[in-house]
Amino acid sequence: MLEGEELLLEQVVLITGSTRGIGRSMAIQMAKEGALIAVNGTNANDVKAVVDDIKTRGGQAIGICESVASIVGAERIVNKTIENFGKLDILINNAGITRDQLLVKMSDQSWKEVLDVHLTGTFACTRAAVQHLKSRGEGGCIINLTSTAGLIGTVGQVNYSAAKAGILGITFTLAEELKRYDIRVNAIAPAALTDMTKPVIERIQRRCKEENKEFPDYWKIGSPEDVANLATLLASNSSTVTGKVFSVNGSKIGIWEKPLHTELSIEEFKKIVSY
């Protein structure tokens, strides 16, 4: 076994989109903590490389080459995990893609592809996993990867922002729906330099320079390993938190709250909207 604190000893963890970046780091970190890992991706060579890496380090892992973009594919990923290990304890919905364009230039296909992977994939994997977790009756943990794009929006990412906002809705809803089964549901909005986030960060850097603005602290980001460490803590049985959204930026962890509701008189409202 890899050297670690064994926070996830004998726990079966399925991580979608775990062949690189944050997903890969989570797979390696959780294997280090004693978890049995189901590595998922759409490229067989990439999947095998991560599985081999984990095994070389002394961990246990299987590979599942399948896309979460279809409901059938997502369900197959969950079912193969259960068939191989006999159970599933922790699901991490991490698979993601970007197809960035301004709204008027965005194609139907770019819109659909992003929502299929992020939103449909999260829905379908979670539904299949919850059916198993409920039947076992031993609780469980679901971690959804969202983004500040879903919390506050990002120019040029209307598809990605919509999908990630939808994942927040899934997280909040299922945390309430599943707490009676002792199934915890949380979300992480990571800030980490990966192949997928690098173009976004570079675009923000250029815009800040052009507009003579300070580069936002949020985007002064950490590593995929920072995100993996947070996910490991949330996944461990020592954690009881549910229904929360956490951001992680290097050594700093943020907690995002649900939008606050404020009631105003019509006159107060007019002042705010500058009538």
Residues with catalytic annotation?
A: 160
Report the C-alpha gap between 168 and 244 in whole angstroms.
Answer: 9
* First CA to last CA distance, the chain: 66
In whole angstroms, how large is the CA radius of gyration of the chain? 19
What DSSP element (H or E) covers 39? strand 36-41
Task: Give the CA distances from residue 142 to residues 14, 29, 116, 134, in Å, rounded to whole numbers and listed in that order.
Answer: 10, 17, 19, 13
Torsion, CA 214, CA 154, CA 156, CA 117, rounded to 10: 140
Find all residues with CB under 8 Å of 30, minimum gap 6, and list them.
8, 11, 13, 15, 37, 228, 231, 232, 235
DSSP strand pairing (252-256 vs 245-249): antiparallel
188: β partners: 145, 246
Residue 40 dihedral angles phi and psi, to the nearest 5°:
-130, 145
